Structure 1
C-alpha cells in the first residue's frame, strides 16, 4: 500500500480510463506520481522520471512482468513477462529480423507496394476514413506478410487485434482482486483458438520447408540441428505480436495524420518536404502514444520509493502515454507541435523490455505517409466529423475522416 493515496484515486473507473485517461493522469503526475489504483489492482507510474526510474532499473529491484489480464491473454512464456536467461532467449528469437540493418534490407519492398495498393482503392474518391481504409490495413498487412501470414486477410488480422485488445485491457478488478468482468476474455480466447487453427498447418509446413518468414525463423533459428522450437513457446509471442506490433504502426500513422490536421500549416510543410516525416512521427507518438499504458514491472523485494511502500511482488504499470505529457519536459503537452524542441520520449518503452520493433514500426509509418502525401497532397480534415480517440492500454483515433479535391 502507499503511504499517501489521495481519496479520489479510488473513484476512477475503467470506463473513464478508456474514454479519456489524460485528466486522471495529469492529477496523478502532480499529486501521486507512484500510486496504487484500485480499479487496476496495481500501482501506476505516471511521470517521465518515475517511469524511467522503474522501467530502466538495472539493479535487480524490478523485473519485467505483464498485468494479470495480459498474462491471461498471452499465456506463458511471453517475452514481455520473461526475465533473465529466458528473456534473453526469447529476444534472440524475435530480435534478429527487426534490427535496423535487417529492416533496411526489406522494409521498402515490403511496405511500399502495400501502401500503394490500398491508396489505389480510394484515392479518386475525394474522401476516406484513413484509419479503416489505409493506416490499419497497411500496418497489419506489412507485419502479417513479414510473419508469413499472406494467406490471412487484412480484415481478419484487424479482427484478431481487436479481440486480443479487448482481452488484454480487461484489467478491472473487484475488491477481492478478481477480474471484474470475466466474460471480457471471451473475444481474446476466440481469436487465439482461430489463430492456432490457421497457424498450425503453416508451422507444420515451415518445420520441413523453412523460408524467410519471421515465424519460420522463430521455429529454426538458434535450435540444434534437426530440431525446431516448441510451439508452446512460439504461440504466446505470436499473440504478443498480433496485439502489440500488428496494429500499432497503423495507430502511430493515424495519430501523425490527426496531429498534423490540427496544424494545417505544419501539414503543408511536411507534404512539401518529406524529410520532415520522421520528425512528425516522433511528435505524434509523444502526443498520442499508441502503446499508452500496456507494460509493467514487478518489484523483486520490499521497496520504498518516494514514500510509497512497494512490497515484494508489487506490479507497477508504466504509463508511457502519461509520461509523454509530463509538464516537466514538454510545454503544452496536449498540443501537437512539429516544431517542439526534440526531447526523447517513452513511446516505445525503456530498459531491457523496450519495444523490439521500434525501427520496423517507424519505417512502416514513414513509408505509408510518404505514399499518402504524394498521392493526395491536398488532404484536409473532414469538418463534418470529429476525431475521437479511445483506449487506455492501446490508444488511437477511432477514425480520421478526410477530404480532398479530385
Structure 2
C-alpha cells in the first residue's frame, strides 16, 4: 500500500507537522484529499468535503476509532473509540452535564469567578504570558471544578494535560507499523498513574456520598439502585476529558486573542462591543482549530472514494484544522477575519462523534474573554516575542506575550 505513496507525502515527518502542518495539508487538499501518510501510519482526510463525508457517515460504513497512539494513551473503553450501544451508553454518561440548558445553569457561577481570580493576579503587572497565566489556567480550573477535582491544583491539571498530549501525539511509526518512540508514552503513563492515585479516594467518597460533580454523576447516573459504574469505564473517559476537553477552551481562547492581534481594528471593535465575542471565538477556532487533527474513523469494508481504494479496517484521521482552511469555502483562509461570512466550520468535529463539550467550551471562552477585555481594554501583543504555535493533533500558541499600560 505504501509503495504507491508519492514521495512528497512519504517524506513528511511528525516534527514538521508539529511545527507547521499548514503547507503540507494545503498540498494534500489540492492533490490528495484522501491519502495514506506513512509518518502517521494512517490515512488522512484533509478537505472539508472529505471530512464531512467520512465523519458524517452512518455506522454501516465507518465507525469511530482513535489512532493507535490515542488508544495507547486512553485505554478502553474510551468514548472516542466506542460505537453502537457502547457509544450511546458512554455518551449518556458524559452528555447530560454538557447540554446547553444545563451549562447555562452553572457556567457563570463556575467560570467567571475563576477568570476574575486569575486576572487579579497579574492585571497590575503591565505584562503577562496569557497562555500560562490566564487561558490555560482558566480552562483547566473550570473543567477541573466541574469534574469535582477542586483539591487538584491548576498547575497539576495543566501538567496532566501536557503529559497526556505528549503521549497522544506520539504517533510516529516505523516501516513495520510499530511505534517509533515507545518511550514517548512515559509522560502519559506517569500522569495516568497519578490521576488514579488522586481520584481513587474521591471516587470512594462519592460512591457513598454522591454530590453534584460530574464524576459523581458518572458513577451513579443510569445505574441500578445500589450500584455504581465500574472505574475501568470511568478512567479512560476521564483521560479523554483531561486531554481534549481540558485544552479546548484554553487553546481556543489564546488562538482567538492571537488572531485578533493580527487585526488591531477588529480587536478594538470586540473590546468596545462584547456582543462580538462569540463571532470572534468562532473565527478563532476556524483559524486555528484546538483539536486540529486528533480524531479518526475506520471503514468496515473495502471501498473506493473518489478513485482512492480504501481497504477494510483503514484508519482515516479527520484533519479538521485543514478542513477549516479549505479554499473552496473560505477566501484567504490563513487570515483571521471577524467579518468573514458565517460558514459552519469543523473545529468541534462532525457526526455522532462530534465533541460533547462544544457549548461548555465556548461559554468558558466567552466568559474568559469578557473578563479579560473588561479588565485590560488596552491589551496588545508584546512584539518583543513571537507567537509560536505548535502541534498537529492539538494546536495552539505555546505562549502569548502581551502588555498594557497600567
Scaled by the length of structure 1, the TM-score of the pair is 0.99
**Which residue is equivalent to 2:171?**
171
Report the 3-state secondary structure (helix = DSSP H, G, I; strand = E; otherwise coil) of the residue aligned with 1:128: strand
Report the 3-state secondary structure (helix = DSSP H, G, I; strand = E; otherwise coil) of the residue aligned with 2:16: helix
- Deviations 1:109-161 (CA, angstroms, capped at 9, x unpaired): 00000000000000001001100000000000000000000000000000000
Report the 3-state secondary structure (helix = DSSP H, G, I; strand = E; otherwise coil) of the residue aligned with 2:387: coil
2:247–2:290: 8 Å Cα contact kept in structure 1? no
1:277–1:369: 8 Å Cα contact kept in structure 2? yes
- Greater than 4 Å deviation, 4+ residue runs: none
Task: For 1:326 and 1:390, locate their aligned partners in 2 and report how far apart those are by CA, in whole Å.
Answer: 20
Change over 3 Å in CA distance of 1:59–1:248 after alignment to 2: closer
Task: For 2:80 and 2:3, locate their aligned partners in 1 and report how far apart those are by CA, in whole Å.
Answer: 29
2:165–2:188: 8 Å Cα contact kept in structure 1? yes
- Alpha-carbon distance, 1:248 to partner: 1.4
**Which residue is equivalent to 1:343?**
343
- Alpha-carbon distance, 1:58 to partner: 1.4
Alignment of 1:1-400 (within 5 A): 1=1, 5-58=5-58, 60-400=60-400
Superposition CA RMSD, Å: 0.9
1:2–1:310: 8 Å Cα contact kept in structure 2? no
Task: For 2:5 and 2:208, locate their aligned partners in 1 and report how far apart those are by CA, in whole Å.
Answer: 57
Task: For 1:176 and 1:383, locate their aligned partners in 2 and report how far apart those are by CA, in whole Å.
Answer: 46
Task: For 1:2 and 1:400, locate their aligned partners in 2 and report how far apart those are by CA, in whole Å.
Answer: 40
Task: For 1:58 and 1:181, locate their aligned partners in 2 and report how far apart those are by CA, in whole Å.
Answer: 35
1:2–1:36: 8 Å Cα contact kept in structure 2? yes
Long gaps (5+) in structure 2: none
| Range with greater deviation from structure 2 (320-329 or 56-65) | 56-65
Report the 3-state secondary structure (helix = DSSP H, G, I; strand = E; otherwise coil) of the residue aligned with 2:64: strand
Long gaps (5+) in structure 1: none
Scaled by the length of structure 2, the TM-score of the pair is 0.99
- Alpha-carbon distance, 1:59 to partner: 5.6
Change over 3 Å in CA distance of 1:202–1:241 after alignment to 2: same
- Deviations 1:161-212 (CA, angstroms, capped at 9, x unpaired): 0000000000000000000000000000000000000000000000000000
Task: For 2:229 and 2:21, locate their aligned partners in 1 and report how far apart those are by CA, in whole Å.
Answer: 40
- Deviations 1:365-392 (CA, angstroms, capped at 9, x unpaired): 0000000000000011101111000001
- Alpha-carbon distance, 1:7 to partner: 2.1
